[in-house]
Structure 1
Amino acid sequence: MVLPVPTPDAPAPAAAMQAPVSALPMAFQQFALNGKVAVVTGGAQGLGYSMAASLCSAGLVGIAILDINPLVGEPAAISLNEQFGTNAKFFRVDVTDELMMKSTFGAINDEFGSIDVVVCSAGVVDNYNAEDYPYAKFQRLMNINLGGSFLAAQSAFPYMRANGGGSIIFIGSMSGHVVNFPQPQIAYNASKAGVIHMMKSFAVEWAKYKIRCNSISPGYMHTGLIESFDQNWVNTWKSMTPMARMGEPHELQGAALWLASNASTFVTGTDVTVDGGYTAM
Structure 2
Amino acid sequence: MKNNIFSLKNKVAVITGGKQGIGKVVAGYLADAGADIVIFDLAEASDVAAEIANEHGVQARSYICDVTNPQDVADKIAQAGSEMGTLDLLFNNAGICLHKEALECTPSEWSKVIDVNLNGVFYVAQAFARYLIANQKTGNIVNTASMSGSIVNIPQCQASYNASKAGVVHLTKSLAVELAPKGIRMNSISPGYIRTEMTGTVRQDWQDIWVDMIPFKRMGTPEELAGAVIYLLSDASTYTSGSDMIIDGCFTIV
Q: Is 1:26 aligned to residue 2 of structure 2?
A: yes
| C-alpha distance after superposition, 1:3-23 (max 9, x if no partner) | xxxxxxxxxxxxxxxxxxxxx
Q: Is 1:39 aligned to residue 14 of structure 2?
A: yes
SS of the residue corresponding to residue 26 of structure 1 reads: coil
Aligned to 2:42: 68
Q: Distance in 2 between matches of 1:41 and 1:248?
A: 18
SS of the residue corresponding to residue 214 of structure 1 reads: strand
TM-score of the superposition, structure 1-length normalised? 0.88
Quote how far apart the aligned CAs of 1:56 are: 0.4
Quote how far apart the aligned CAs of 1:164 are: 2.9
SS of the residue corresponding to residue 212 of structure 1 reads: strand
Aligned to 1:49: 24
The partner residue of 1:171 within 127, 137, 144 is 144
Matched length: 253
Q: Is 1:128 aligned to residue 100 of structure 2?
A: yes
Q: 154-163 or 199-208, which moves further after superposition?
A: 154-163
Aligned to 2:34: 59
| C-alpha distance after superposition, 1:241-273 (max 9, x if no partner) | 111110011000100100110000000000001
| Counterpart AA for 2:40 | L
Residues 1-281 of structure 1 aligned to structure 2 (within 5 Å):
26=2, 29-60=4-35, 62-70=36-44, 73-161=45-133, 162-281=135-254
SS of the residue corresponding to residue 153 of structure 2 reads: coil
| Counterpart AA for 1:32 | S
| Counterpart AA for 1:130 | A
SS of the residue corresponding to residue 194 of structure 2 reads: coil
Percent of aligned positions with the same letter in both sequences?
38
Q: Is the 8 A contact 2:176 2:185 kept in 1?
A: yes
CA-based RMSD = 1.0
| Counterpart AA for 1:106 | A
- Structure 2 residue runs of 5 or longer lacking an equivalent are none
Q: Is the 8 A contact 1:118 1:169 kept in 2?
A: yes
SS of the residue corresponding to residue 194 of structure 1 reads: helix
Q: Is the 8 A contact 1:114 1:163 kept in 2?
A: no
| Counterpart AA for 1:148 | G
Q: Is the 8 A contact 1:142 1:188 kept in 2?
A: yes
Q: Distance in 1 between matches of 2:247 and 2:17?
A: 19
SS of the residue corresponding to residue 181 of structure 2 reads: helix
Q: Distance in 2 between matches of 1:57 and 1:163?
A: 27
